[in-house]
């Protein structure tokens, strides 16, 4: 059986990933997996997302460990559709969010080492195959404004400086190639208003379905 084409949609908080993914849920050939926020909000009764935002120094290791576990579940989950589309990935969890925790002094070096060992083991030994990364590239100012507008309670503590730091780490990874890229990257200007995003959706559709057809042909 031909394995599915796997596409990961990456970007800062507030870059428009949820809206972007919603567009692709209409295609029967595509199985879309949203970021498992519901699990992060309820891990056996604990809202790890809220705990992490309120006290990142205490909860960052716990939260990021669970993020890696839940993302790994999405990466390895079998599907019948020919295309799998995932919101974020285990790679951005490590390269952007774990790295930011360490850079900001919110994670001890020993904690970072443990998460890095776990990340290296899983990416080398488990079937985490990516065919395309779609990077929704958004200016920090735009992302921060969108976060304020949507008003998620856990995100009330997010500061502009945090969005700027996460943006830089996405740029270092996906634009400046300072971290390992597991597959090609399609960069999309996500500063646009939603009504103007249709051409970008179409571009992603073309890239994605071209890859799927090429895989079947081979």
Structure confidence at residue 178 as a pLDDT band (50, 70, 90): very high
Which residue in 86, 174, 97 sits closest to 130, CA to CA? Answer: 86
Domain count, the chain: 1
Is 1 a residue whose pLDDT tops 70?
A: no
Of the candidates 10, 29, 35, 87, the residue annotated as catalytic is: 87
Mean pLDDT for the stretch of residues 96-122: 95
- b (16+ CB within 10 A) / e for 76-115: eeeeeebbbbbbbbbbbbbbbbbbbbbeeebbeeebbeeb
Higher pLDDT, 198 or 33: 33
Q: How far is CA 182 from CA 41, 92, 185, in A?
A: 29, 11, 9
Range of the domain at 37: 5-217
pLDDT tens digits for range 124-153: 998 898 999 999 999 999 999 998 887 677
Is 184 a residue whose pLDDT tops 70?
A: yes
pLDDT at 199: 85
Q: Report DSSP state, residue 127.
A: -
Higher pLDDT, 172 or 198: 172
The helix/strand/coil state of 121 is: helix
Structure tokens at 96: 């952007």
Structure tokens at 24: 């692709």
- b (16+ CB within 10 A) / e for 117-155: ebbeebbeeeebebbbbbbbbbbbebbbebbeeeeeebe
Mean pLDDT for the stretch of residues 179-184: 94
Which residue in 33, 31, 16, 26 sits closest to 195, CA to CA? Answer: 16
Radius of gyration of the chain (CA): 17
Which residue positions form the known binding site for ATP?
Answer: 11-19, 146-150
Supply the CATH number for residue 112's domain: 3.40.50.300
pLDDT at 206: 85
pLDDT at 211: 79
Is 118 a residue whose pLDDT tops 90?
A: yes
Q: What is the mean pLDDT of the chain?
A: 92
Task: Please indicate, yes or no, whether the overall pTM of this predicted structure exceeds 0.95.
Answer: no
Structure tokens at 57: 């120094």
Q: Report DSSP state, residue 47.
A: -
pLDDT at 218: 67
87 in active site = yes
Helix, strand, coil in percent for the chain, rounding step 5: 60, 15, 30
Which residue positions form the known binding site?
Answer: 11-19, 146-150
Higher pLDDT, 109 or 199: 109
């Amino acid at each position: 059986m031909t394995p599915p084409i796997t596409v990961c949609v990456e970007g800062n908080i507030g870059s428009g990933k949820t809206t972007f993914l919603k567009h692709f849920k209409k295609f029967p050939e595509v199985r879309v997996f949203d970021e498992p926020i519901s699990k992060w909000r309820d891990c056996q009764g604990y809202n790890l997302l809220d705990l992490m935002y309120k006290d990142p120094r205490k909860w960052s290791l716990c939260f990021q460990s669970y993020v890696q576990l839940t993302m790994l579940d999405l990466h390895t989950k079998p599907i019948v559709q020919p295309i799998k589309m995932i919101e974020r990935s285990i790679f951005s969890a490590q390269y952007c969010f774990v790295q930011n925790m360490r850079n900001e002094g919110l994670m001890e070096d020993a904690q970072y080492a443990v998460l890095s060992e776990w990340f290296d083991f899983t990416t080398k030994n488990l079937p985490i195959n990516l065919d395309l990364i779609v990077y929704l590239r958004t200016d920090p100012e735009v992302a921060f404004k969108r976060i304020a507008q949507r008003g998620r309670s856990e995100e009330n503590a997010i500061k502009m400086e945090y969005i700027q730091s996460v943006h830089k780490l996405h740029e270092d990874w996906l634009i400046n190639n300072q971290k390992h890229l597991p597959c090609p990257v399609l960069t999309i200007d996500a500063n646009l208003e939603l009504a103007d995003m249709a051409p970008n959706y179409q571009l992603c559709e073309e890239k994605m379905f071209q890859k799927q057809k090429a895989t079947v042909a081979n």
